[in-house]
Amino acid sequence: MMGNHTIGNRKVAIIGAGYVGSSIAYALALRDIAREIALVDIDQEKTDGEAKDIRHGLPSMGTADLYVGSYSDCVDCDLIIITAGRNRRQGETRLDLTNDNVKIIRSVADSIKTNYTRGVILVISNPVDILTYKVAQWMGLPDGMVFGSGCILDSSRFVRSIADYVGLSTGVIHGYVIGEHGDGQVPVWSRVTVGGIPIDEYCSTTGLEWNKSIRDAISGKTKKMGAEIIAAKGRTHYGIATCVCQIADAILNMRPTIVSVSSVLMGEHGCRGVALSVPSVVGSSGVQMRIREKWTPEEYRGFFDAVEKMRNTLVYLDGDNQI
């Protein structure tokens, strides 16, 4: 178990006030998860508009002090959320963003580092697993203090799809997607439960049709959901903003949780030197533990393929394209 420390002022800085950053600010403010939210972006005018738009609704709901800040507002934050960088265009994979966003996030990390005093750093920008690894390397903080949203959104989409299939509310479905937040994601079917009952047993007991092609259809739908939303509206931002609330609440309000998020592996499942998602205990000091649960051989194969894919991308970045 890694270190734990007490939280003071529930202060959050959001770096990048585009669709994702502003939606996160809005969701955190509505749910009163943070006391202070600084929005930091190179586009001051747009950020000012976003901050005003959110602030104008707060008298009727929420008490957060939300304002346009600068990198100096990273001082004394409990949580710094990185959403800067460009998003996917239709037809692009998240890894296609690597060259552009590694450069942007390098300058973001340098500016944070100059003003950093304490707190957890949460990476949202894509490709989130690559950027999480790089930010962790650049910041040099203790294990787990830098982590990425990783597969929390994929897990949420997975649970949503299963709930729709079994016709129950999402609250009774437990399941995770692990590996890459991208095409190398692995749904852990062997661990899915419905009301605490393994899903295979639940379906056979209740007479619900259940077989590999139904599972494959749900897994495929989960993987394609992000691309489908981008094809339909050009971006995704509400889903991730909601997921970030769960993470921020765990960090700011002492409500430790277990979510599938991305952090640098330190020998779990025999892997190190990459950041990928596994179910992790998240609390005030970030990822406090990566849970070493057992998977099926097929699930392990998928996870190891993702490890290999991430390693190759990191090797590429460390080579001629060094940033």
Identity of the residue, 130 or 265, whose beta carbon is nearer to ligand NAD in the bound complex: 130
Position 282, amino acid? V
Residues forming beta bridges with residue 186, ordered by sequence position: 178
Residue from 5, 8, 9, 42 binding ligand NAD (CB under 6 A): 42
SS (H, E, C) 217-265: HHHHHHHHHHHHHHHHHCCCCHHHHHHHHHHHHHHHCCCCEEEEEEEEE
Residue from 109, 122, 136, 153 binding ligand NAD (CB under 6 A): 153
Residue from 7, 11, 13, 85 binding ligand NAD (CB under 6 A): 85
Burial class (CB in 10 A: 0-12, 13-18, 19+), 318: exposed
Position 289, amino acid? M
User: How many residues interact with ligand NAD (rule CB under 6 A)?
Assistant: 33
In angstroms, what is the minimal distance from the CB of 153 to ligand NAD? Answer: 4
Annotated active-site residue 56? The verdict is no
Distances (CA, A) of 185 to 90, 248, 316: 19, 23, 21
**Sheet with strand 173-174: strands edge to edge:** 173-174, 193-194, 197-198
Residue from 84, 130, 162, 166 binding ligand NAD (CB under 6 A): 84
277 binds ligand NAD (CB under 6 A): no
Identity of the residue, 41 or 180, whose beta carbon is nearer to ligand NAD in the bound complex: 41
Coil/strand/helix, residue 210: coil
Which span sits near ligand NAD by CB under 6 A: 214-222, 229-237, 286-294, 308-316? 229-237
DSSP state for residue 141 in the 8-state scheme: P
132 binds ligand NAD (CB under 6 A): no
Which residue among the candidates 5, 56, 174, 181 is catalytic per the annotation?
181
Pairing assessment for the beta strands 120-123 and 177-179 based on DSSP bridges: unpaired
Residue from 14, 112, 128, 192 binding ligand NAD (CB under 6 A): 128
69 binds ligand NAD (CB under 6 A): no
In angstroms, what is the minimal distance from the CB of 17 to ligand NAD? Answer: 5
In angstroms, what is the minimal distance from the CB of 158 to ligand NAD? Answer: 13
Identity of the residue, 107 or 137, whose beta carbon is nearer to ligand NAD in the bound complex: 107
Identity of the residue, 101 or 285, whose beta carbon is nearer to ligand NAD in the bound complex: 101
33 binds ligand NAD (CB under 6 A): no
Peptide bond into 256 cis (omega under 30): no
Annotate 61-88 with b (16+ C-beta within 10 A) or e (fewer). Answer: ebebebebbebebbeebbbbbbbbbebb
Segment 281 to 300, residues that bind ligand NAD, using CB under 6 A: none
25 binds ligand NAD (CB under 6 A): no
307 binds ligand NAD (CB under 6 A): no
CA distance 81 to 8: 17
Active site residues: 181
Residues of this chain that bind ligand NAD (CB under 6 A): 15-21, 40-43, 83-88, 97, 101, 104, 107-108, 124-126, 128, 149, 153, 181, 235-237, 240
